[in-house]
Chain A
Amino acid sequence: MFEYAPAPESRSVVDIKPSYGLFVDGTFVDPTDGGSFKSINPASEEVLAEIAEGGSQDVDRAVRAARKAYEQVWGPMPGRDRAKYLYRIARIIQERSRELAVLESLDNGKPIKESRDVDLPLVAAHFFYYAGWADKLGYAGFGPDPKPLGVAAQVIPWNFPLLMLAWKIAPALATGNTVVLKPAETTPLTALLFAEICQQADLPAGVVNIVTGAGETGRALVEHPGVDKIAFTGSTEVGRAIARAVAGSRKKLTLELGGKAANIVFDDAPVDQAVEGIVNGIFFNQGHVCCAGSRLLVQESVAETVLESLKRRMARLRVGDPLDKNTDIGAINSAAQLARIRELTDAGAAEGAQQWSPPCELPERGFWFAPTIFTGVTQAHRIAREEIFGPVLSVLTFRTPAEAVEKANNTPYGLSAGIWTEKGSRILWMADRLRAGVVWANTFNKFDPTSPFGGYKESGYGREGGRHGLEAYLNV
């Protein structure tokens, strides 16, 4: 095992204020009927800032501001001008990307290597991509002059705070909607810095409103009669509740929910590449990824070889300080999520699967979970059925391609899947049969603003990204 000297990224590029208000109508305001909560660094449990908690009156104020901006400024504005604001935002994100990356890692716990090299480039690219659509909507295949919906309520999760914000705000604004966005309560800081970026871009007041808070704030936003559109990314359970809440209304709904993706390794796959893909599939972002390859389906004849190689690779994963540039796996985002992971892994062990983790020294403070695999897993085990949303892989085996398809599809989810084989015709045969919105063949966890993302079945409906992503925000 190599020894690595610490290589910490400096946090001095970020200036975190002691407290943050809500961003409504272009300015930061104190909540009128809400309280406050603290956002902490999950790697140290240190308090980062005091955050305003939006109450129902605050939500109402934000929705009104968004409505006014929609009717008076953003809706009537020519697409070419909306485009320029979005290009400005994309540029400012690129210019301030180091600052945003460090802040993201501090608030979320993800390795700086990832926030710097994956999240931030994708965030900027997403704004850049949708900026270009703003004055070309008539060519997008939704008729000559597709109309926006109005005010979009957007509720996003804590796993990719700024990237999910970009996926929500960029297409909404490009199509002429205004937004009220609620970031997750454990990761509000980059959204609040984004609010400052909107100010810096001179984005007209009320076009983007950020209301921080937890579930109750989100509920008030979703149920507000003044919103025309709801976009939610998060758990299937909450997605279901939102689908019920909007029943009988005119609100358009898109949902990006949970997953339990199969990562399928055939006997002819190059083992080293497949193992990299397995590791990237489940340990990227601590496994806090809705499309994570959390079920490894490995062909029986190579199971032993693949697992041996996988364990050897896992022993070289570096778990620790998210700001260290060598870190592969950062902190679990919250105490609650850590408890959820422990509950499910305990169930896995209790149900008879074999648990294995490499020897791994975890920091004393903060929330940590060592990369873990379970072997001897059956399809009936909870760890094969429920989304763990942590660095935990369940390993199952198969003999024939048809069995692999059956097992891969044996889940209420349908967000993503992976295939590893050298045989092209088998990839396409499998891809046709897998009920999943994204199929990665001989790769995994790749994202791009031009590539539509979203699920089948209980992983939700609607697509984000690409031309398809416009549809969620147009009256079509």
Chain B
Amino acid sequence: MFWNVTQSLFGGLLTTFEIFILTLVFALPLGLILAFGSMSRYKVLRYFVQILVWIIRGTPLMLQLIIIFYGPGLWLSHNIWSGDEAGRITATVVAFSINYACYFSVIFRGGIEGVPKGQREAGEVLGMTKNQIFFKITLLQMVKRVVPPMSNEIITLVKDTSLARIIAAYELTFAGYSFMKSAGLTWPLFYTGVFYLVFVGILTLLFNYIEKKLDYFK
């Protein structure tokens, strides 16, 4: 039985991991774009981003997931998500990417605005382009500033992947829960918890490593 459960949980972990990685891949750059939008000198763009962030942060992620997964099928004549596991994972990644990009954008904006104005001006008087100033000067200083708050969000993401169960994506929590439902077993639930703890533990080590790596400058 133990191997049975372990096998199932690893199957669930794979989906959890897939949602986690893909969400980061899309939400990180999208968050940066939204951060720039929220600092834009164009009022319309700024307000658009602010309202988007307000709506996304102001409503439950689970509600967003339900709307994104079921909405298209009810509004359009056909569902845009395929009916299999891949379709459910795609819908989850879309909902999560939008949601997390909004949270990330606020953190990024804080990180960018935290870099002293003098840094940009020093680059300007040295004849650097806007891009060079961002990529060669601002970016790394921003990254250093955002690592602690980002580590919080990213750890939350690991656990938020369990929300995908609501649209029947077979992720880690679903896997553990299924043994309770089918066989009345509770220990797989605790075993599931261990999977999350190890996942988050590895991430914590990774973030500590990054923080240490960036410790060479102040």
Do A and B assemble together? no
Interface residues of B (CB under 8 A from A): none
